[in-house]
Amino acid sequence: MSLVQDAAAVSAPFFVRGKLIAATEKRHRSRDLGVDFVTPKLDLDALVTLRTEPGPLFDVKLNEILDFLAATGERMRLDRGGYLREAVDRIAATNVLPRAVIEHNVRMAADYLNKAKLLEYAEHNLGDARVLDEWLPRVDSTGRRSFTRAFPPRLIHVLPGNSPLVSAQSIALGAMVKAVNLFKMGSSDPFMAVAILRTMLDVDPDHPVPRSMSAVYWRGGDEQVERAIFQPQYFDKIVAWGGGDAISNVIKYLMPGLQLVSFDPKTSISMIGMEAFDSEETLEDVATRAANDVGLLNQEACVCSRVLFVEGDRQQVDRFCERLQRKLVDRNALSGKAPPLPRDLAEEVDSMRLMDDEFGVWGIADGSGLVVRSDEPVDFHPINKTANVVQVKSLKDALKYVNVATQTVGVYPPARQVELRDGLASGGAQRIVRLGDAGGQSIGAPHDAMYVMHRFVHWIVHEDGLV
Amino acid sequence: MSGAVRPQACAVDRLVGAVDSENPFDTPFSELLPSQLEAINERFKDRIGKIKLLQNRAETGGISEVRCMADVVPLLFAHTAYKTYPEGWLVEQKWDRMGRWLDTVSTHRVERMDTQGINGLDAWLQRLESQGHYVSCSSGTTGKCAMMNATMADGEFAGHSLLRAIIWAGLAPNHDRRMISLGLVAATPRNRASGKPMREAFNRRDVAPFAPDVPPITIGGITEMIVLRKKIADGTAKPTEIAYFETQAAEREKAIASSIEQAADALIASRHMPLHIMGLFGPLYQVAERVRAKGYSGKDFHANSAFVSGGLKRVQVPSSYREFIFETLNLSWDRVCLTYGMQEINTNAPRCKAGRYHMAPWVMLLLLDESGEHLIEPAASGELEGRAAFFDLSLDGRWGGVISGDKIRATWAPCACGNRSLSVADEIQRYADTASGDKIACAGTIEAYVRGVS
């Protein structure tokens, strides 16, 4: 019996330099849900392009790349080949995200491939997107002339497993910087990147964009693979998400010529001023906004709020907690429940219930929405629709809890963003938004304190001496 | 507390009393089960009004009586239940709050005390001891420290039952050996209590037992490291504090090396008399290496005996480490007792001649699935694999039901050694070690930004 017919294991084809590789030779197990999937055997030599060979996109104009990406987005919406439908089915089996959330994410991925928006992204990231196509001239104040180009890099993208949208973004950015791209997919989603790349073949099977892309899976940390291909002779940068084991696996391969562009693991928070208690309607509205930020992607992503600092007295803060818990439960109609809390976390919350003069607990640990109120942030990392509300006298008092792992801070009322933003940035936070808008994103804005395209490209100068 | 008459607690007393019977490890599971369930139910009825977390557990699980093994599962505490206190309280030395937390997982009330003048965790623990609370801590150097309350009687029973188990395993203490202890374990009340009866039973009256002369590893010392970690994460630790702790860590390393050296020297110096060696496999291997390096091996020693508890604790050694240790120190399986146990429970399971760990009748082993949520029903024959959970009826100071982090294989069928009690296979893994490091997500915590203080 071939592995494909094995009902217990789903097939996860590879995509290597413009070709779909659909063999089912190697069995893996997804980390989160323990579902088996089968892939082709990895051909290491096919994953690298020697430096004597220019990448397929090196001489393709940005405009043509954008047209191709937009056409891919269009095809993704139609999905005539059923690639994305199939990917959704398979991701739903390997990923903790509810199906509705995955479907929404896949629609967002198709919409992301929008020509005008992508161009705006590049313009904002690079100042002048022509630098991708041309050697832009400049004469400095001493009269020296030089030409600069954002030269195409060779990139390994270690994709996160928690958001299919990131696959689309990484593919789009990798194409726009004209890179030679190798995507290492995660075990909780070894499907989405390949589904997008397959769609590209339907647009034009010989286009240089798909020829510049490979998407494969190996078990993160597999030294046989990583020691062989994580070499500066083959790649310039490793673009990696996450922390802990995922990043320590990568860090050991860094060396002169092989750099890391890291999207570090992040925690997001909210800061809610006493204005929330102006009226009952306001409080309802603030709780709804807060629940949006907490429950986004079922709290799987870095932008999801986990700790909410609320300015007020105990009674006010408890009123907020009660409403927030209700709003989190209301959201279940939209995106389904999150998985129940792991036993150790549930136990920690139970202990807090027992110490009711120190803590307040609303809801149960079944993934439907849980709120824990404390005087300082709890020790555990709130997950699966859990919000930790911390009572503070003044939002300024909460600044000491902001640290280098803090990403997004949702503030209410919006007017108070200005009073807080310098303190937040100094503490380490990287993104300040209106409460309820953690998922919003202005086109080309910095991510994790950097302009991503700017970090991806290889800045090359051609010095032309005194004019 | 321990001596108090418990008129209703007859099933508990009957089972726990078996510690002094001739062979407590020969009762088959099926015979034992009714009285174990009866005893657990007795414990449950008595403790539900005393241990707050248990009461909460019973309410959540809808359990009002224990009639079968599945009823016990919702009442088990995860091995993390004893570390649910907010770490900030430890860092800021809020002993009154820590006391209130400890009370929620204790049988006997942790009364409010005057916390004035308590300077550090060790001092608080000492004050608790003066009130009859003997708190042991798990000794992990990263993450939180589990704090488990026990009574004096718990400690005494741990020591006594361990000695009985060692004798059952085939060792015959007769005051005719010098006891060589390798040290290197945390100075917890549990560890102190369990060593004492063994020392008294084995050691010659004319020679002092040996223990390395190094500063003890105190719980407070371990916790200081954890506190520093938190301060680094919070961004409030100063570079000089980090540098100070790096120095401390280096000194601890030196103390460990010195313990190994001292133990090797003591073994060699005492080689003319029979020895009883006590330690963990990791350090024992290092000691054996030193003994070899100094030019001695099995032929230089009498027929020695040893007691070894616990696994390797992630120490990297060659696969033949046991043979190497045995050959170097002239040990053999009939003179070595291994046990399987953990800080969370009071009773160790001794290894039999067939190489399996046997459960005492007062300890119920519950095999659970990996999630720890569901019971794997015992099978009449064959071996089953799962997560180990225990109910130790001998525990007085806290709840006896706990889920471990261990992946084990157990059989309810009679063992090849001839004993009919439930037994666990020799290879015991930790689930934490088997998890893959493959998870990549953008969400994460400040923990990833803290370099381990070595």
A425 DSSP assignment: H
Residue from A345, A358, A387 nearest A370 by CA? A387
**Helices B29-47 and B10-17 meet at what angle, rounded to 10?**
130
**pLDDT confidence bin for B451, thresholds 50/70/90:** low
pLDDT at B141: 46
Cβ separation A351–B101 shorter than 8 A? yes
Chain B: which residues have CB within 8 Å of chain A? 52-53, 56-57, 60, 77-78, 80-81, 84-88, 97, 100-101, 104-105, 144, 233-235, 371-373, 403, 436-449
How many residue pairs bridge chain A and chain B with CB atoms within 8 Å of each other? 152
pLDDT at B157: 95
> Higher confidence at residue B436 or residue B119?
B119
Residue B13: pLDDT band (50, 70, 90) is very high
**What residue has token string 């893996």?**
A28
- pLDDT at position B162: 93
Q: Is the pLDDT of residue B142 over 70?
A: no
Please tell me whether residues A424 and A385 are part of one structural domain: yes
Q: How far apart are CA B275 and CA B170, in angstroms?
A: 16
The more confident residue out of B365 and B145 is B365
**CA distance readout (Å), A229 to A42, A214, A215, A245:** 12, 13, 14, 19
Q: For residues A216 and A296, state if they share a domain.
A: no
> How close, in Å, is residue A160 to chain B by CA atoms?
5
* CB-based contact, A222 to chain B, within 8 Å: no
Q: Which residue has the higher pLDDT, B122 or A315?
A: A315
One domain, residues A12 and A56: yes
Check whether B423 has a pLDDT greater than 90: yes
Tell me what pLDDT residue B184 has: 66
pLDDT > 90: percent of chain A: 79
Query: Do A208 and A63 share a structural domain?
Result: yes
Q: What is the pLDDT of residue B391?
A: 98
Instruction: Assess if residue A45 is contained within a domain.
Output: yes
Task: Measure the CA–CA gap between B86 and B97, rounded to whole angstroms.
Answer: 10
Lowest mean pLDDT among A219-228, A236-245, A369-378, B101-110: A236-245
Q: Which of A185, A246, A180, A236 lies closest to A47 in space, CA to CA?
A: A180
User: Does A303 map to a domain?
Assistant: yes
B443 and A355 in contact by Cβ < 8 A? no
- Pick the residue of A351, A376, A424, A447 with the most B CBs within 10 A to test the interface with B by mutation: A351
CATH number (domain holding residue A395): 3.40.309.10
Report the residue of B442, B445, B446 to disrupt the A interface, i.e. the one with the largest count of A CBs within 10 Å: B442
- What is the arithmetic mean of pLDDT over A397-424? 96
From chain B, the residues in CB contact with A447 under 8 A are: none
Q: Are strands A431-434 and B423-424 parallel, antiparallel or unpaired?
A: unpaired
| Confidence band, pLDDT 50/70/90 cuts, at residue B2 | very low
* Res A143 pLDDT > 60: yes
For residue range B321-330, what is the model confidence (pLDDT) as tens digits? 999 999 999 9
* Burial class, A224, CB count within 10 angstroms (exposed 0-12 / middle 13-18 / buried 19+): exposed
Nearest-angstrom CA–CA distance, A298 and B256: 47
- Residues B187-199: tens digit of each pLDDT: 777 777 778 898 8
DSSP SS3 for A69: helix
**A443 inside domain:** no
Average pLDDT over residues A392-398: 96
Nearest-CB residue to A304 (from B53, B371, B443): B443
* Backbone phi and psi for residue A367, each to the nearest 5 degrees, phi listed first: 90, 5
- The rounded percent of chain B whose pLDDT value lies above 70 is 90
Say if A252 is an interface residue toward chain B (CB within 8 Å): no
Residue A72 shares a structural domain with residue A87: yes
Q: Say if A390 falls within a structural domain.
A: yes
Identify which of B87, B104, B235 has the shortest CB distance to residue A355.
B104
Query: Which pLDDT score, from 0 to 100, does residue B441 have?
Result: 64
CATH number at residue A90: 3.40.605.10
- Mean pLDDT for B409-416 is 96
Q: What amino acid occupies position A240?
A: A
**Domains of chain A: total:** 2
Give the H/E segment covering residue B243. Answer: helix B239-269
Question: pLDDT for B228-285, tens place per residue?
Answer: 877 888 888 899 988 888 888 888 889 889 999 999 999 999 999 999 999 888 889 9
pLDDT tier, A297 (very low <50, low <70, confident <90, very high otherwise): confident
pLDDT of residue A433: 97
Same domain, A258 and A272: no
Q: With an 8 Å Cβ cutoff, are B235 and A404 in contact?
A: yes
C-beta atoms of B86 and A405 within 8 A: no
The answer to whether residues A257 and A289 belong to one domain is no
Q: Give the span between the Cα atoms of A424 and A413, in whole angstroms.
A: 16
Residues of B with Cβ-Cβ distance to A263 under 8 angstroms = 442
The answer for residues whose C-beta is within 8 angstroms of residue B260's C-beta and 6 or more apart is B182, B283, B286, B287, B290
Task: State how far residue A354 is from chain B, nearest Cα, in angstroms.
Answer: 7
pLDDT at B148 over 90: yes
Q: Kindly determine whether residue A347 and residue B440, on different chains, have CB atoms separated by under 8 Å.
A: no
**Residue B453 pLDDT grade (very low, low, confident, very high; cuts 50, 70, 90):** very low
In this structure, the answer to whether residues A186 and A298 fall within a common structural domain is no
A439, part of any domain: no
Q: In terms of domains, do A334 and A209 share one?
A: no
A348/B448 touch (CB, cutoff 8 Å), yes or no: no
Q: Which domain holds residue A391?
A: 268-434
B313 confidence band (pLDDT: 50, 70, 90)? low
C-beta atoms of B449 and A403 within 8 A? yes
Q: Is the peptide bond before B239 cis (omega within 30 degrees of 0)?
A: no
Least confident stretch, A8-12, A177-181, A191-195, B343-347: A8-12
From A351's Cα to the closest Cα of chain B, the distance in A is 7
Do A280 and A367 have their domain in common?
yes
| Same structural domain, A240 and A310 | no
pLDDT 10s digits, A437-456 = 999 989 999 998 999 999 99
Q: Is residue A121 located within the same domain as residue A206?
A: yes
Cα distance from B442 to chain A (closest Cα, Å)? 5
> A240: nearest CA in chain B?
B440
Render pLDDT for A73-108 as a digit per residue (tens, 0 to 9). Answer: 999 999 999 999 999 999 998 888 888 889 999 999
What pLDDT shows up at residue B66? 97
Q: Which residues of A touch B74 (CB under 8 A)?
A: none
Element (H, E) at B90: helix B87-91
Most B CBs within 10 A among A238, A379, A390, A407, hence the mutation to make, goes to A379
Residue A353: inside a domain: yes
Residue to mutate among A354, A386, A441, with most B CBs inside 10 A, is A354
Contact B104 A265 (CB under 8 A): no
| pLDDT of amino acid B270 | 97
Who's near A215: CB < 8 A, 6+ residues apart?
A: A14, A15, A182, A183, A185, A193, A194, A197
Q: Does A266 touch chain B (CB under 8 A)?
A: yes
Share the mean pLDDT of chain A: 93
The dihedral of CA B67, B73, B77, B79: what is its sign? positive
Residue of B nearest to A408 (CA): B443
Give the model's confidence band at B90: pLDDT under 50 very low, under 70 low, under 90 confident, else very high: confident
